[in-house]
Amino acid sequence: MTAGNITRRGKSSWRLKYEGGEPDAATGRRATRYVTVRGTKKEAQIELIRLLDQVRAGTAVEPSTTTLAEYLRSWLDVDASLAPKTLERYRQLAEQQIIPHLGTTLLQKLRPVQIDDWHTLLLKQGGKDGRPLAARTVGHAHRVLRRGLERALRLEVVSRNVAAAFRAPKVEATEVVILSPDQIAEVLERLEGHALYPIVSLALGTGMRRGEICGLAWGALDLDKASVKIERSMEETDAGLRFKPPKSRAGRRAVSLPANVVDVLRDHRRQQMQMRLLLGQGRAGADDLVFTLADGNPYPPDKLSRDWGNVARDRKLPRVMFHSLRHAHASALIAAGLDVVAVSRRLGHSSPAITLTVYAHLFENKDDAAAAAIEATMRPKNK
């Protein structure tokens, strides 16, 4: 039978003494543990009851002096399940948003109230130069901490995941930025002759992601059949560039090409072939990339975004992110009357539910047409 007692140590400080851990093989006795709790005596009693319940249930953890900073860094050094880009982002969030505020706290001493205070602090002054941090970024940091503590719980390093007691701050839903049909035509007209023209044409004509375009090889294109197979993506991290497979089965897909995009790609292939011959590289093979830098090296996705931003500024194009070209493609499909499943498949979403979440406002615009359609069905035939 486990037992414990409480001793006052200060005005609002209490020392909890109890028997914990696995029983000694020789004596059958558990080791004596001491825990200091701040608060009222009632709160100390509640904490002692919780600790004793853990001992009885066999879920009590061995005391550790590991800080949260030490644990997070150790976890991110050994977790092989995280993709390189994800790992890079997790480390960034840990070092910039979590460790500066909670890192010195002992892992086992972290409490829910600290998580609540941490959220408040980040939202008020967690950004650069003490500016408020976006709720979305706070949410990302919260999910990193929660995932890390979930692993600690599975390893029985902590007895509970205190980050699970709070939800990430609510992010206000915003509609995706899209280009109107007139803007799409304007973009293509002003880009004609620029090195980005075939890339932007492909993005608008297929809805391919930035990394998918940068990782596209000639062998994945069948211009005679006006089709492209999307089977990989290029990822850029601090360690360099790498090819990676799609996140889901739906991401591996075949997409039909508009006739005008086929013409643009044929012209691009001809120009690239001329350049390769001048550089002494010979004809492009099936594994050679469709889009490269001038020296023939792969086109880094981040550089593509920067180049797009520069040309949009210089040629007075709509100031939207490169990813908005994908949104423009989706909006054109929806406006043309394609159902959500067809749009989802073309975009490579893992589920039509994702498509609905992102583009719900565009589908809602068709509600009047839906009402008219059902009215026609319900109208008596003799009227």
Q: Give the CA radius of gyration of the chain.
A: 29
DSSP 344-358: HHHHT-S-HHHHHHH
Query: How far from 296 is each of 138, 215, 261, 276, 369, CA to CA, in Å?
Result: 40, 13, 22, 8, 50
The CA distance from 82 to 98, in Å, is: 19
How many C-alpha atoms does 149 have within 13 Å on its Cβ side?
26
Q: Which of 241, 184, 209 is nearest to 322 (CA)?
A: 209
Q: Quote the tokens at residue 262.
A: 């086929």
Phi, psi of 244 (to 5 degrees): -140, 150
Closest CA to 211 of 332, 330, 306, 305: 305
Residue listed under structure tokens 């068709």: 366
Shared fold status for 68-165 and 181-367: no
Hey, where are the domains in the chain? Answer: 4-57, 68-165, 181-367
Q: In terms of Cα–Cα distance, which of 170, 193, 210, 194 is closest to 304? A: 210
pLDDT by 10-residue block (mean), the chain, 383 residues: 80 85 64 82 88 73 86 94 93 97 94 94 91 94 96 87 90 79 92 96 96 97 97 93 91 95 96 88 90 93 97 94 94 89 94 89 64 59 59
Please state which architecture CATH assigns to domain 68-165: Orthogonal Bundle (1.10)
Q: Convert 122-159 to b/e letters by CB count within 10 Å (16 or more is b).
A: bbeebbeeeeebebebbbbbbebbbebbebbbeeebbb
| Model pLDDT for residues 8-57, shown as the tens digit of each residue | 988 889 988 888 655 665 666 767 777 888 889 999 999 888 888 877 76
Of all residues in the chain, the percent with pLDDT exceeding 70 is 90
- Cβ count near 245 (within 10 Å): 11
- CB neighbourhood size of 379 (10 A): 9
Residue 67 has what DSSP assignment? Answer: B
Condensed to tens digits (0 to 9), the pLDDT of residues 193-235 reads 999 999 999 999 999 999 999 999 999 999 999 999 999 999 9
The CATH code of domain 181-367 reads 1.10.443.10
pTM for the full predicted model = 0.76
pLDDT on residue 328:
93
The residues with which 230 forms a beta bridge, in sequence order, are 253
What lies within 8 Å, CB to CB, of 118 at 6+ separation is: 98, 101, 102
What is the phi/psi pair of residue 42, to 5°? -60, -40
